[in-house]
């Protein structure tokens, strides 16, 4: 399961970036220094590419244009769903936004996926940053155009940013907390102002937000769900679509930004189509029937047992396992601590002890995964061993307010005997429940208020049902009335955004340089914000303080130290039952594409479809092999 915050529209890389150190140039008067115009910015001042770079190293700049690419969604952001859509407005709370709408809009700057967080000029050709780093002055490219031929102007940029802060999806609003305003200085220059002590990565988030046409929205409400395709300026336009079934995007043949360095070798397909299925098994059958052409596989059972159909055997379908060097994030069953029965961390730890990962990995997932322990999995931000002196210094002000284990080895979920019913772990779980005041009466676990402890596991896709099997059986052995509730994607999103659930599955996904992106997941403010990613309801002063420390970190080493301290406190809170992760991307595709040798290190995904291309020779061979 991918997604939630990681994603395409909000661009996971944008959810993490810091201190932005621009170059400065003397003003010629021997006094004050005037900010230089720079072609790119990054968290800690380092840029791989010079001002005159031709293309990113990880693309094929000579990739041919043309062909057709189709897939099912693998990431989601804001109001999107993996399984359906009913709106072409993907930046507000209402509706189910269509996958791929980000491809229809230009942004001020664009991401280099072979650097941790660097961005380079897109609609903006350059930026000047004030010495106090609170005002960013962007100069727009004169050739920047909307799809109707009208120019992208500074008033359009100012309108877009100010509107998203006021009316955008709650997750956007939270991320823009330290964005104050955007003002058009003239048609070609826009000034973006940030609050004092702003979050380190807010500027990088801002430059990756879509640019809307102010004129288009002059007589249209921005915050409403709609099936009218908004006026865009990106590499694609909305083409054919059928609500809940598919949506196509057509490449803009005379796109103004096609030859910019950040875009050469990318956006090569004439048509990109997203197919929507309500069931992953049905979606797999659609792939075998060539109903869509590319599939990233997230179900280990299918990867291990079902890629034996004829097209695989005769080579028409290729399978690859591409590396994933990005932080894998943490996936698990998140426990909603807003609910009274989950207030006591001992109850939450009892749930952790009841899940037999070793049995599930072997029998349900064919041994394909490793156990997750941290929301920062597969990164240097994972806490290990006893805290360093630097971590202790951060944690010391909260001694007595956080569990003592925060100052010792970090919590790691127990390893079972793999039987599916580890008696030692279940005995410990029962003791934890007893200690929390939950007695057994007539075979049922009774809460202190006299009610039976009931747990509903909320999911929106049936492929997760097998993973709950032994977990629910073990809970039943302890007298807990636990059951799965499978609902459709629309209901699921509505309930999760309203925090109307007991336990649900979430993947917490962060970039290599997390900053303000930590707030929607961990802070007290986000715990009370409808639509945030703080599913667990984490509202802890120590966590709040450490998030602010992470946002203010001035070096990568300092950031890693703060995140390790944060990791310790989160894991000590027993907010989730950690599941699993895998540091690779299993993909299958009908053999009519080519792609770079490997995805860039910091790409969120495989680089498809952005950096892949249609291979006419392969397609002809595939046609002959029918």
311: phi then psi, degrees, rounded to nearest 5:
-65, -30
pLDDT band of 329, cuts 50, 70, 90? confident
266 lies in some domain: no
Picking from 541, 561, 581, the residue at the C-terminal end of a domain is 581
379 and 508 belong to one structural domain? yes
Please give the pLDDT value at position 23.
Answer: 31
Q: In whole angstroms, what is the distance from residue 137 CA to residue 114 CA?
A: 26
Give tens-digit pLDDT for 213-251: 999 999 999 999 999 999 999 999 999 999 999 999 999
Query: Which ranges constitute the DSSP H helices of 489-587?
Result: 489-497, 519-522, 524-527, 541-552, 556-572
Give tens-digit pLDDT for 495-532: 999 999 999 999 998 988 999 899 999 999 999 999 99
Q: In whole angstroms, what is the distance from residue 297 CA to residue 44 CA?
A: 35
State yes or no: cis peptide before 619, omega within 30 of 0. Answer: no
Picking from 156, 189, 219, the residue at the C-terminal end of a domain is 219
Q: Which two tokens mark 63? A: 């990739």
449 lies in some domain: yes
pLDDT band of 327, cuts 50, 70, 90? confident
- Nearest CA among 580, 373, 375, 571 for reference residue 467: 580
Q: In whole angstroms, what is the distance from residue 351 CA to residue 330 CA?
A: 17
Q: Which two tokens mark 236? A: 């694609």
177 and 28 belong to one structural domain? yes
Query: Which ranges constitute the DSSP H helices of 154-279?
Result: 154-167, 170-175, 202-206
269 lies in some domain: no
433 and 569 belong to one structural domain? yes
pLDDT band of 624, cuts 50, 70, 90? confident
User: Could you give the count of Cα atoms lying within 13 Å of 541 in the half-sphere of its Cβ?
Assistant: 6
Compute the C-alpha angle 553/555/561, nearest 5°.
65
41 lies in some domain: yes
Q: Which two tokens mark 479? A: 């007298």
350 lies in some domain: yes
191 lies in some domain: yes
Contacts 24+ apart (CB under 8 A), 594-600: 594/60, 594/63, 594/618, 596/58, 596/59, 596/60, 598/322, 598/323, 599/58, 599/113, 599/322, 599/323, 599/324, 600/56, 600/57, 600/58, 600/113, 600/114
Residue 233 falls in which region: left (phi positive, over 0), alpha (psi -120 to 50) or beta: alpha
The model scores a pTM over 0.75: yes
Angle between helices 465-477 and 423-435 in degrees, nearest 10: 60
Please give the pLDDT value at position 34.
Answer: 66
12: phi then psi, degrees, rounded to nearest 5:
-50, -35
Give tens-digit pLDDT for 476-492: 999 999 999 999 988 99
User: In sequence order, what are the beta bridge partners of 402?
Assistant: 399
189 lies in some domain: yes
The domain tally of the chain equals 2
Picking from 546, 562, 581, the residue at the C-terminal end of a domain is 581
For residues 73-85, b (16+ Cβ closer than 10 Å) or e, as one string?
bbbbbbbbbbbbb
Mean model confidence pLDDT for the chain: 92
Structural domain boundaries enclosing 385: 330-581
Please give the pLDDT value at position 611.
Answer: 97
Contact present, 355 and 371 (Cβ < 8 Å): no
pLDDT band of 324, cuts 50, 70, 90? confident
**Residue percentage of the chain with pLDDT more than 90:** 85
Please give the pLDDT value at position 604.
Answer: 80
338 and 204 belong to one structural domain? no
- Where are any strands of DSSP class E within 259-414? 271-275, 294-296, 317-323, 330-335, 370-371
625 lies in some domain: no
Q: What is the mean pLDDT of residues 99-110?
A: 98
48 and 193 belong to one structural domain? yes
Contact present, 79 and 493 (Cβ < 8 Å): yes
How many residues are listed for the chain in this entry? 626
Please give the pLDDT value at position 334.
Answer: 98
- CATH (domain of 123): 3.40.190.10
* Helix, coil or strand: residue 383: coil
210 and 349 belong to one structural domain? no
484 CB-contact burial (10 Å; exposed 0-12 / middle 13-18 / buried 19+): middle
208 and 346 belong to one structural domain? no
Question: Which residues 6+ apart lie within 8 Å of 110 measured at CB?
Answer: 119, 120, 121, 122, 208, 262, 263
Please give the pLDDT value at position 33.
Answer: 58
- CATH (domain of 416): 3.10.105.10
pLDDT at 417 over 90: yes
pLDDT at 553 over 80: yes
Select the more confidently predicted residue: 510 or 71: 71
438 and 576 belong to one structural domain? yes
């Amino acid at each position: 399961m991918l997604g939630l915050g990681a994603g395409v529209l909000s661009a996971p890389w944008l959810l993490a970036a810091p201190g932005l150190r621009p170059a400065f140039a003397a003003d010629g008067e021997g006094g004050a220094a005037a900010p230089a115009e720079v072609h790119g910015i990054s968290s800690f001042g380092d840029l791989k590419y010079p001002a005159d770079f031709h293309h990113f190293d990880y693309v094929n700049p000579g990739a041919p244009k043309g062909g057709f690419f189709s897939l099912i969604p693998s990431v989601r952001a804001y109001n999107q769903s993996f399984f359906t859509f009913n709106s072409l407005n993907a930046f507000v709370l209402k509706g189910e936004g269509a996958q791929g709408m980000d491809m229809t809009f230009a942004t001020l700057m664009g991401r280099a996926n072979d650097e941790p967080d660097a961005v380079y000029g897109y609609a903006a050709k350059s930026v000047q940053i004030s010495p106090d780093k609170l005002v960013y002055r962007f100069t727009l490219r004169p050739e920047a155009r909307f799809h109707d031929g009208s120019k992208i102007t500074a008033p359009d940029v100012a309108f877009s940013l100010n509107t998203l802060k006021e009316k955008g999806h709650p997750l956007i609003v939270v991320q823009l907390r330290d964005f104050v305003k955007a003002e058009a200085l003239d048609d070609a220059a826009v000034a973006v102002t940030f609050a004092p002590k702003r979050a380190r990565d807010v500027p990088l988030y801002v430059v990756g937000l879509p640019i809307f046409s102010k004129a288009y929205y002059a007589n249209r409400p921005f915050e409403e769900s709609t099936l009218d395709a908004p006026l865009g300026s990106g590499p694609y336009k909305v083409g054919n679509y059928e609500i809940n079934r598919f949506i196509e995007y057509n490449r803009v043949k005379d796109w103004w930004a096609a030859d910019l360095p950040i875009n050469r070798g990318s956006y090569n397909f004439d048509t990109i189509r997203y197919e929507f299925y309500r069931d992953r098994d049905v979606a797999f059958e659609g792939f075998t029937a060539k109903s869509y052409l590319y599939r990233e596989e997230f179900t280990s059972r299918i990867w291990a047992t079902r890629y034996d159909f004829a097209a695989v055997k005769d080579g028409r379908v290729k399978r690859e396992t591409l590396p994933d060097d990005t932080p894998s994030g943490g996936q698990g069953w998140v426990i909603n601590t807003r609910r009274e029965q989950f207030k006591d961390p001992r109850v939450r730890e009892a749930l952790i002890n009841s899940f037999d990962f070793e049995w599930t990995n072997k029998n349900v997932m064919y041994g394909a995964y490793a156990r997750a322990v941290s929301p920062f999995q597969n990164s240097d931000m994972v806490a290990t061993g006893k805290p360093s002196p630097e971590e202790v210094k951060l944690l010391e002000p909260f001694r007595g307010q956080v569990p003592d284990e925060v100052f010792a080895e970090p919590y790691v979920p127990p390893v079972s005997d793999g039987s599916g019913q580890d008696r030692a772990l279940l005995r410990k779980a029962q003791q934890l429940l007893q200690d929390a005041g939950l007695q057994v009466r007539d075979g049922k676990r009774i809460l202190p208020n006299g009610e039976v402890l009931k747990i509903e596991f909320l999911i929106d896709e049936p492929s997760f049902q097998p993973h709950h099997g032994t977990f629910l059986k073990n809970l039943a052995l302890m007298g807990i009335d636990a059951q799965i509730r499978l609902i459709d994607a629309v209901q699921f999103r509505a309930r999760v955004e309203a925090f109307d659930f007991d336990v649900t599955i979430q993947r917490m996904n962060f970039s290599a340089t997390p900053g303000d992106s930590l707030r929607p997941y961990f802070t007290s403010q986000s715990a009370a914000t409808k639509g945030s990613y703080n599913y667990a309801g984490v509202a802890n002063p120590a966590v709040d303080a450490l998030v602010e420390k992470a946002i203010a970190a001035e070096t990568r080493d300092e950031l890693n130290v703060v995140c390790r301290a944060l990791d310790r406190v989160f894991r000590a809170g027993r907010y989730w039952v950690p599941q699993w992760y895998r540091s690779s991307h299993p993909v299958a595709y009908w053999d009519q594409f080519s792609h770079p040798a490997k995805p860039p290190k910091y790409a969120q995904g495989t680089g498809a479809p952005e950096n892949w291309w249609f291979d006419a020779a392969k397609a002809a061979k595939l046609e002959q092999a029918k």
